[in-house]
A and B are shown apart, each in its own frame.
Chain A
Amino acid sequence: MAQPLVKKDDDRDDEVDYSPFLGIEKGAVLQEARVFNDPQLDPRRCSQVITKLLYLLNQGETFTKVEATEVFFAVTKLFQSRDMGLRRMVYVIIKELSPSADEVIIVTSSLMKDMTSKTDMYRANAIRVLCRITDGTLLTQIERYLKQAIVDKNPVVASAALVSGIHLLQTNPEIVKRWSNEVQEAVQSRAALVQFHALALLHQIRQNDRLAVNKLVSSLTRGSVRSPLAQCLLIRYTSQVIRESTNDTQTGDRPFYDFLEGCLRHKAEMVIFEAARAITELNGVTSRELTPAITVLQLFLSSSKPVLRFAAVRTLNKVAMSHPMAVTNCNIDMESLISDQNRSIATLAITTLLKTGNESSVDRLMKQITNFMSDIADEFKIVVVDAIRSLCLKFPLKHRSLMNFLSNILREEGGFEYKKAIVDSIVILIRDIPEAKESGLLHLCEFIEDCEFTYLSTQILHFLGIEGPKTSDPSKYIRYIYNRVHLENATVRAGAVSTLAKFGAMVDGLKPRIFVLLRRCLFDNDDEVRDRATLYLNTLGGDGAVVETDEGVKEFLFGSLDVPLVNLENSLKNYDPSEKAFDINSVPKDVKTQPLAEKKATSKKPTGLGAPPPGPPSTVDAYEKLLSSIPEFASFGKLFKSSAPVELTEAETEYAVNVVKHIFDGHVVFQYNCTNTIPEQLLENVTVIVDASEAEEFAEVASKPLRQLPYDSPGQTFVAFEKPEGVSAVGKFSNMLRFIVKEVDPSTGEAEDDGVEDEYQLEDLELVAADYMLKVGVSNFRNAWESMGVDFERVDEYGLGPRDSLAEAVNAVINLLGMQPCEGTEVVPPNSRSHTCLLSGVYLGNVKVLVRLQFGLDGPKDVAMKLAVRSEDETVSDTIHEIVASG
């Protein structure tokens, strides 16, 4: 037997690591559990064994079904013992073992007996156990006892029944709802926790009945709820009622606001805080309403308890996003929190200050933060860096001091994630604030002089290659870049060579000097670096002649690849070096979207055809090449848009199919990407039968079947439809996969000769208006809007009805139109009552479209929208309105 469990010896100094569970082992404990079956039970011993079992479970040990059942049955024997301590442990382990329905029956009668026992502790615990493990059928049997228990004079018993009721409401709502009267009585209980549990249950019973909740709240806010926890609940229910009730904007009075404000003077801190937070989260809260809440939160800021300071600063941080002015009163307390021991509090204080700060306080703040930055962890620094980035975007005039700050911290010690956050921020600032470009680029140049992260160095070199040549004096960057060629590892050297070449290609004046530098790289000891240098020298005309590099060469060198990189990598791996040169056109352009489960990789794959692994979606270019290579579709003209793949099958089905919608001016082509996931099958003559009866304007014109679909090697079949030219016709298509299936012998990989024709139902496919819209952003929306002019402007207003939130409404409209949100306007700040969203896109027929959406909350939930469209074609402007009107 293992050491006795309760052993209070005085020799604890002997072994520091002594544990009563040292060397405990599941098998041995299960053996020990046999004492439960002894005719003469030793309660003490049994308790110890249960504790050991619980210890094992707690440490993450699992019991097999058989073991659990065995233990469970043995445990049920222990109900014979009248020892209370043991009974407690029995209750706990039954809950932990979560017995199955047929096992539950064994203990039901014992537990029901305990439920009606005279001992309060038995009643309370038996209720909790029984309700935890029971299913609905038993519940009707014990309902009577539960109702009695709810109004039991012992608060522990009442709470046990009420909490069990809350859990049971999820599974058996109709039964629990019948207990309303008893629960209502319990709400009046004098015991604090009973009141809390009763209120929680009563609200959940009535939560779908707005009137009832309203009544509950109005009656309770007048009375006195004793328990602080119950009071917190009441505050939450009250703010829910406030959210849902129509605001009486005429008088400016908000129902129940007085109650919330009164709670700010409650004696329990949790209630004060709950009320303050509720006030700050009120929809469209006014500064008059905010003031008392901010005042109590400000007091919390100087509390000695970290939890209070944290709670207050976190709430104020949120308020600062929507009402920065309201928080400025707390700035002095906030500044003292910068040196708080608890770094979460300090970071929240800093970011709050950054949000509330005005342009004039930026410099002072930066000074304080500089001291603070040196002694916090990287993860907090990242938060601060993000806040500084948004501050800089808010006050572009301050870019100099903020950029300096970023470059200073960039030079200090820090991990990769932190450095990456800084570099990303600088890159964003360079992109968005033109005045900051030159200094930002120089900071980055200085950083790579002493950068230990290859990834960041190459990223910065790449960025320099794009931005550097466009600056007023590109030559000053050359030195930094060329230094890399001397001092860095091969990856960075190769990146630096490419960047040099970009400067050479873009800036003709620098060409001769670049060539000199590139020629030196020809003697590098790394293959990749030499190869790149050779390639650039030859293509850019390194023979000394200063000629303008033609567009084709630039495109070849710096344009994007039109095949997924993974596919290219795979094809290159499979390429046999031979007489025949590698042909990039042989690289599969399709993308397998459904990765196969690992286990299937062990089975034999068909040889010869290298199955391309899943990769990122390929570009429109790739699709265009693919489609134009099919003669049937060659006459359709230029491809306008290809959608992202839409899954037509569930994950892990026999055949995985997704579809890409290709839109042409007068045609639509559906590309079905099919994958056969059954190793024992070969599919032949695969087609998709499309029923377009719910898409009246479409007529099928061509279909291209897939000859063979072996296991795990994706293939495509196409169906083309004709539609009225230039019209954005919409409709719904139902799809059926039809094929001939042949059995494959898994050992040889040979297919049988005879096949059977079979069909496989796919999900329906819809063509929507957004499919005719290309997401094309504009860099400066205002300029684009102005230059488009008012000629074809169409403006109208729409009511969008009740919505969950403004953000949800904004998203819905963006998705409906399928346009590109500009300038980050798709993000709706929390708690805002109105929002303007800017969208841009190109509509079928290459018509540029700009949309300005103004959303406003009309009442508590109804969203109203003003839609202004400008485009190059008035019919398109009208079409946009039609889309919105019909969507």
Chain B
Amino acid sequence: MELCPLIKNILLLDSEGKRIAVKYYSDDWPTNSAKEAFEKAVFAKTQKTNARTDAEITMFDNYVVVYKFVQDLHFFVTGGENENEIILAAVLQGFFDAVGLLLRGTVDKKEALENLDLILLCLDEIVDGGIILETDANVIAGKVASHSMDAGAPLSEQTITQALATAREHLTRSLLK
């Protein structure tokens, strides 16, 4: 019997149900077509609901799915049928808020695709092989963002904090040399 809370997948889809970034942690969907079928079903089932203020929840095919939408982005977290719904909701909230922080408030499909690297790193920091790594959005975003802007980028494209961080890094590097 599996006692540790497990996440089956995390999905970020657009307003037509197309993938922006997805991550599966379970063998329940062995092929890409099985995954796509699942995404299609989830999307169709939740499309008409209003999940913009509070996270919503549904059950189907013996999975519990919690979801939340913003603009043209649909966030989903799936767990097994016996999973604690509130734990799943905590993971969803962590993912949702972290993406909000990383995209600096402008949370829509275009911004998400333009910063896909951040989204992928974000997924990588939330769950590892189905086991929850972190649910606090600030910590997740912090881990992703701390070095997301590389040192070589022109300063004009960085925020003040990042610019400072970059400067500090440059300094340390030159000192270490």
Contacts and interface: CB of A to CB of B under 8 A. Distances in A.
The yes or no verdict on A and B being binding partners is yes
Interface of A: 5-8, 12, 18-21, 42-44, 47, 50-51, 54-55, 58-60, 62, 82-86, 88-89, 91-92, 95, 121, 128, 132, 156, 159-160, 163-164, 166-167, 193, 196-197, 200, 203-204, 229, 232-233, 236-237, 240, 269-270, 273-274, 277, 304-308, 310-311, 314, 341-342, 344
A310 B55 contact: no
B88 to A, nearest CB: 8
Contact of B116 (A44, A55, A84, A91): A55
Nearest to A88: B121
Contacts of B4: 166, 200, 204, 233
A47 B84 contact: no
B92 to A, nearest CB: 9
Contact of B87 (A59, A88, A232): A232
A494 B82 CA distance: 49
A167 B129 contact: yes
Given A42-B152, A55-B116, A305-B54, A240 B3 contact: yes
A342 B56 contact: yes
A270 B84 contact: yes
A164 B105 CA distance: 33
B3 A237 contact: yes
Contact of A163 (B54, B124, B129, B149): B129
Nearest to B125: A156
A196 to B, nearest CB: 8
A311 B22 contact: no
Contacts of B54: 304-307
A311 B151 contact: no
A47 B150 contact: yes
B116 A51 contact: yes
B90 interface: yes
20 contacts: A6-B114, A6-B115, A8-B114, A19-B110, A21-B116, A47-B150, A50-B117, A54-B117, A54-B120, A58-B19, A84-B147, A167-B129, A200-B131, A203-B3, A229-B87, A232-B84, A306-B54, A306-B55, A341-B50, A342-B49
A50 B110 CA distance: 19
Contacts of B21: 58
A270 B117 contact: no
Given A44-B153, A60-B35, A85-B147, 6 more contacts: A6-B157, A60-B32, A84-B147, A270-B86, A274-B87, A344-B58
Interface string B103-121: 0000001100111110011
B89 interface: yes
A229 B50 CA distance: 28
Interface of B: 1, 3-5, 19, 21-22, 32, 35-36, 49-50, 54-59, 66, 84-90, 109-110, 113-117, 120-121, 124, 128-129, 131-135, 143, 146-153, 157, 173
Contact of A193 (B32, B110, B134, B151): B134
Contacts of B157: 6, 8
Interface residues of A, dominant DSSP: helix
Contacts of A310: 57, 85
A61 to B, nearest CB: 9
Contacts of B115: 6
B120 A307 contact: no
A788 B19 CA distance: 66
Contacts of A8: 114, 157
A341 B51 CA distance: 11
Nearest to B23: A58
Nearest to A271: B86
Given A18-B110, A58-B21, A233-B3, A307 B89 contact: yes
A95 B36 CA distance: 21
A43 B128 contact: no
Given A19-B110, A156-B143, A307-B66, A47 B117 contact: yes
B18 to A, nearest CB: 9
Contacts of B147: 84-85, 88, 121
Contacts of A59: 19
- The 3 A-B residue pairs whose C-beta atoms are closest, nearest first, are A84-B147, A60-B32, A270-B86
B175 to A, nearest CB: 14
Contacts of B121: 88-89, 92
Nearest to B32: A60
B148 A85 contact: yes
A296 to B, nearest CB: 12
Contacts of B1: 240
Contact of B150 (A18, A86, A304): A86
B53 to A, nearest CB: 9
B115 to A, nearest CB: 7
A458 B120 CA distance: 54
Contacts of A233: 3-5
Contacts of B36: 60
Given A21-B113, A60-B36, A269-B86, A85 B133 contact: no
Given A6-B114, A88-B121, A306-B57, A274 B89 contact: no
A624 to B, nearest CB: 43
Given A6-B157, A51-B116, A342-B57, A163 B133 contact: yes
A159 B147 CA distance: 20
B86 A163 contact: no
B22 A44 contact: no
B3 A307 contact: no
A205 to B, nearest CB: 13
A12 B108 CA distance: 12
Nearest to B1: A240
Nearest to A45: B152
A305 B150 CA distance: 40
B57 A274 contact: no
Given A232-B87, A308-B86, A344 B19 contact: no
A344 B116 CA distance: 33
Nearest to A207: B3
A193 B140 CA distance: 12
A660 to B, nearest CB: 35
A310 B85 CA distance: 8
Contacts of A305: 54-55, 89
A55 B85 CA distance: 30
A272 to B, nearest CB: 9
A62 B33 CA distance: 12
Nearest to A86: B150
B6 to A, nearest CB: 10
Contacts of B87: 229, 232, 270, 274
A544 B39 CA distance: 65
Contact of B113 (A19, A50, A204, A273): A19
A9 to B, nearest CB: 10
B86 A344 contact: no
Contacts of A342: 49, 56-58
Given A55-B116, A233-B4, A83 B151 contact: yes
Nearest to B20: A58
Contacts of A18: 110
Contacts of B89: 305, 307
A273 B86 contact: yes
Given A236-B3, A342-B49, A83 B55 contact: no
Contacts of A274: 84, 86-87
Nearest to B135: A229
A344 B110 contact: no
A500 to B, nearest CB: 43
Contacts of B135: 229
B56 to A, nearest CB: 5
A360 B107 CA distance: 53
B3 A20 contact: no
A166 B152 contact: no
A85 B150 contact: yes
Contacts of A164: 128
A274 B151 CA distance: 46
A9 B56 CA distance: 34
Instruction: Kindly name the residue among B3, B58, B66, B132 whose own CB sees the greatest number of chain A CB atoms within 10 A.
Output: B3
B120 A229 contact: no
Nearest to B116: A51
